[in-house]
């Protein structure tokens, strides 16, 4: 039960659930197992007004994040924070910012040590951020201008709240079969005409790097199809190469998109 109450609901723009929801859901997950427990959650969603977003997050709790990847970031946080910014990625950040209105509400989706979140705050934006790594979140929270919280991708849900979502080399840690749902959740969190900038590594398949981090790689055509299905308009993209935390060079793409009208 504790996990259902120990979430930062206000940070996610959600109402905290009551006992009528928590207790049946907890029973289903504990005594019926994840498959039947998740089915119970779905059933509750159909009869409970106002808790759809919370129940989506509960489904995410059933699907455990890759703990080995999170552990690497917790352990290597100082090394990661010390990486020099790539000039092309900095330009992509400026291009993203240029699409936003003054004082826009921006979400750094998988914020890492918070470098981009701080850059957005420097531009006068209202900045929120989350990450699955406790240590990354703690570093980001050191800046009082940023509201940061710890969460997994599947736990994020909001409704027409953000002007822009910046997902820089974060969703490459999500399983491929979860990407459609995660993109739809981001789409639903953006205001009409809102912007999403997404950075991923190019390639195929899924594999761990030498540090143990699990990556999912995409081709541009696959990524375009996923974004189109999630109702994003592909505006433009850049491609590049850079050396990451593991010391190897990777090909990547950064895509600027906007929510499709209607």
**Residue that has been written with the tokens 């826009």 in this structure:** 104
- 51 and 157 part of one domain: no
Closest CA to 245 of 218, 212, 223, 198: 212
Please count the other Cβ atoms lying within 10 Å of the Cβ belonging to residue 260.
14
pLDDT above 90 coverage of the chain, percent: 69
Residue 12, pLDDT above cutoff 70: no
Residue 132, pLDDT above cutoff 90: yes
Q: What is the pLDDT of residues 214-248, one digit of tens each?
A: 999 999 999 999 999 999 999 999 999 999 888 89
Residue 163, pLDDT above cutoff 90: yes
pLDDT tier, 262 (very low <50, low <70, confident <90, very high otherwise): low
- pLDDT score, position 33: 52
Residue 46, pLDDT above cutoff 50: no
- 145 and 75 part of one domain: yes
Residue 9, pLDDT above cutoff 50: no
Last residue of one domain, picked from the residues 62, 94, 109? 62
Q: SS3 for 214?
A: strand
Residue 16, pLDDT above cutoff 50: no
d(CA 117, CA 112): 9
- 247 and 133 part of one domain: yes
Maximum separation of any 2 CA atoms in the chain, in Å: 52
- Mean pLDDT lowest among 8-12, 138-142, 169-173: 8-12
- 104 and 180 part of one domain: yes
Question: Are 99 and 121 in contact, with CB atoms under 8 Å apart?
Answer: no
| Mean confidence (pLDDT) of the chain | 83
pLDDT tier, 32 (very low <50, low <70, confident <90, very high otherwise): low
- 208 and 228 part of one domain: yes
- 110 and 211 part of one domain: yes
Q: What is the pLDDT of residues 94-120, one digit of tens each?
A: 999 999 999 999 999 999 999 999 999
Closest CA to 250 of 223, 210, 221, 222: 210
- 233 and 251 part of one domain: yes
Domain residue limits at 244: 71-259
d(CA 175, CA 216): 7
- 58 and 85 part of one domain: no
- 88 and 52 part of one domain: no
- 130 and 193 part of one domain: yes
Question: Are 253 and 237 in contact, with CB atoms under 8 Å apart?
Answer: yes
| Domain count of the fold of the chain | 2
Last residue of one domain, picked from the residues 19, 34, 62? 62
CA 19 to the chain's CA centroid: 28
Supply the pTM of this predicted model: 0.77
Q: What is the pLDDT of residues 73-84, one digit of tens each?
A: 999 999 989 888
Angle at 182 between CA 239 and CA 35, to 5 degrees: 140
Q: What is the mean pLDDT of residues 141-161?
A: 96
* DSSP percent split of the chain into helix, strand, coil, nearest 5: 45, 25, 30
- 37 and 123 part of one domain: no
Whole-angstrom CA distances from 246 to 11, 44, 139, 170, 254 are 33, 44, 21, 16, 20
**CATH code of 126's domain:** 3.40.50.150
Last residue of one domain, picked from the residues 41, 62, 83? 62
- 164 and 234 part of one domain: yes
Write out the H or E segment, with its range, that includes residue 199: strand 190-201
């Amino acid at each position: 039960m504790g996990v259902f109450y120990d979430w930062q609901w206000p940070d996610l723009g959600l109402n905290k659930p009551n006992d009528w929801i928590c207790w049946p859901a907890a029973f289903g997950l504990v005594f019926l197992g994840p498959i039947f427990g998740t089915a119970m959650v779905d059933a509750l969603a159909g009869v409970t007004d106002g808790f759809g977003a919370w129940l989506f997050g509960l489904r995410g709790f059933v699907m455990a994040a890759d703990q080995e990847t999170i552990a690497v970031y917790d352990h290597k946080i100082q090394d990661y924070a010390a990486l020099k910014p790539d000039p092309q990625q900095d330009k992509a950040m400026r291009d993203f910012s240029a699409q936003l209105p003054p004082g826009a509400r921006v979400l750094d989706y998988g914020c890492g040590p918070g470098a981009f979140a701080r850059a957005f705050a420097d531009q006068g934006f209202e900045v929120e951020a989350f990450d699955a790594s406790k240590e990354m979140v703690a570093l980001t929270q050191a800046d009082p201008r940023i509201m940061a919280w710890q969460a997994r991708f599947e736990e994020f849900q909001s409704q027409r709240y953000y002007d822009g979502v910046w997902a820089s080399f974060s969703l490459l840690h999500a399983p491929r079969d979860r990407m459609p749902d995660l993109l739809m959740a981001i789409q639903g969190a953006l205001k009409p005409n809102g912007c999403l900038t997404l950075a991923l590594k190019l390639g195929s398949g899924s594999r761990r790097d030498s540090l143990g981090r699990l990556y999912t790689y995409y081709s541009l055509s696959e990524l375009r199809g996923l974004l189109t299905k999630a109702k994003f308009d592909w505006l433009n993209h850049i491609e590049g190469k850079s050396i990451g935390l593991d010391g190897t060079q990777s090909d990547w793409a950064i895509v600027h998109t906007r929510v499709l009208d209607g």
